[in-house]
Structure 1
Amino acid sequence: MAKRAVSNPLALAVLACLWERPMYPYEMTTTMRERGKEDSIRLNFGSLYSVIKSLEKHGFIEVAQTEREGNRPERVVYAITDTGRLEAESWLRELIEVPVKEYPAIETGLSLLPMLPPQTAAALLEGRRDRLDADLAGRRELHEQVSGLPELFMVESHYRMAVMEAERTFIADLASRIRDRSIGGYTSWEQLHRLLSDGVGMEELIGRIADGDFGQEAADLYR
């Protein structure tokens, strides 16, 4: 993906707000929250001001006017520039079209799963499955409440649900195969943690695995 002068996804959300009309910062925040964008874009007021200043510095937005109501502090209204419109469209096209490698926390956890005893891992995965079920139920209820809203304005939520449902299916199946010991490598995984619980040191165990004492299955765990 192209290196952006301003790369925080919140910056694209700001550009999207100003693509509609000029706004002042608090209005941008309110608009994003009212539309549920916090679910897909990390939003906080402190970061917003930093992003706005960076967008202004690079010529993507500009001060349109300042407003004052009574004794309240002066409000700065920002507008998108022609350069900002081009940047926003280019950035959005890239996000939609080009897959990128992301690093979700669950993938990190799964990559290190052998550190945990098998049945502990299964219990934790089942806990995650239950949390996903609860989250999915809440989202389905929300979708029912806004059923009159055109699908276009809920597409990111539908995407999130599809991803969660796929994860839930994978996690539940993985937990089940650990429980019934059918996952490949289970025997060596169980033996490894049994020896650790008996007081055998990890350094000694890895040495024994390297020497082939546990067979190829165990060696594959620590390739």
Structure 2
Amino acid sequence: MAVLLLLAVEPKHPYGLRQRILEWEKDRVINVSQRNAIYQTMRRLERHGLITVHETTKHENRPERTVFRTTESGVQLSREWVRDMLRTPAVEYPEFPAALAFIASISRSEAMAALNERLETSERNLAAFETEVNARLADFGGSLDPIHLVDTDYQRTMARAEITWLRGMLEKLEAAQRNGAVGGT
């Protein structure tokens, strides 16, 4: 979906597309850590007729670069995916809740230490994120249509919610430990 929508904005070659994702800080929601993933995705989209070659360029001693753009059917499909993902909650399987499901398999002190470390990291990450967002807003004179900040606002809200939950859970675990809760160490 992201590849289709970004190539509809501006035709790019795979490396350029990955760079754009990083520049626009969409790597917070789009996993581009494996460089080859973009190339594989684009080959698959081309096979299905959702993107097409826009042009092939060659600069000096560099290899040829094939620039792609989204086809009309690719634009329509990507927009339908966005609508579907916005309106329909999906069952997702993130790591953290999976680890929480088995937290009792480690000692209470190990669990609390790990959760404290996560809390500290989450607080640092949120502070850095807030700084980045404020800097981006300053680039736009402090005013930007909220539609362009929906993903940022969601991420910030979820980070704050997790920090609040972590603090509350750590307080409960500490109280249970002080009170000699059964089943913990």
Partner of 1:157: 152
Verify: 1:178 aligned to 2:173, yes or no. yes
* Residue 65 (structure 1) shift: 2.0
SS at match of 2:183: helix
Per the TM alignment, residue 182 of structure 1 is displaced from its structure 2 partner at its CA by 7.7
Q: Deviations over 1:93-141 (max 9, x none)?
A: 1111111111121101111121122233222212211111111111111
1:41 corresponding residue in structure 2: 30
Distance (whole Å) between structure 2 residues aligned to residue 56 and residue 91 of structure 1: 18
Deviation at 1:62, TM superposition (A): 1.0
Contact residue 118 and residue 189 of structure 1 kept, 8 A: no
Displacement of 1:45 in angstroms is 2.2
Q: Distance in 2 between matches of 1:113 and 1:71?
A: 55
Counterpart Cα distance in 1 of 2:28 and 2:81: 20
1:1-223 correspondence to structure 2 within 5 Å: 12-43=1-32, 44-148=34-138, 149=140, 150=144, 151-181=146-176, 187-190=181-184, 193=185
Q: Which runs of 5+ in 1 are unaligned?
A: 1-11, 194-223
Distance across 2 between alignment mates of 1:182 and 1:162:
30
* Alignment partners' CA distance in 2, 1:108 and 1:80: 37
Residues matched between the structures, number:
178
Q: CA RMSD in A?
A: 1.9
- Structure 2: distance between partners of 1:129 and 1:29: 31
Secondary structure of the residue aligned to 1:146 is helix
- State the AA in 2 paired with 1:169: T
Percentage of matched positions with identical amino acids: 25
What secondary structure is seen at the aligned counterpart in 2 of 1:42?
A: coil
Shift of 1:27: 2.1
Corresponding residue SS for 1:180: helix
Relative to the length of structure 1, the TM-score reads 0.74
Superimposed CA distance per residue, residues 166-200 of structure 1 (whole angstroms, 9 cap, x where no aligned partner)? 111111111111111189xx73313xx5xxxxxxx
Question: In structure 1, what is the Cα distance between the partners aligned to 2:54 and 2:69?
Answer: 6
TM-score of the aligned structures, taking structure 2 as reference length:
0.87
3-state DSSP class of the match of 1:77? Answer: strand
Cα distance in structure 2, aligned partners of 1:21 and 1:123: 47
**Structure 2 counterpart of 1:15, which letter?**
L
Larger radius of gyration between Structure 1 and Structure 2:
1
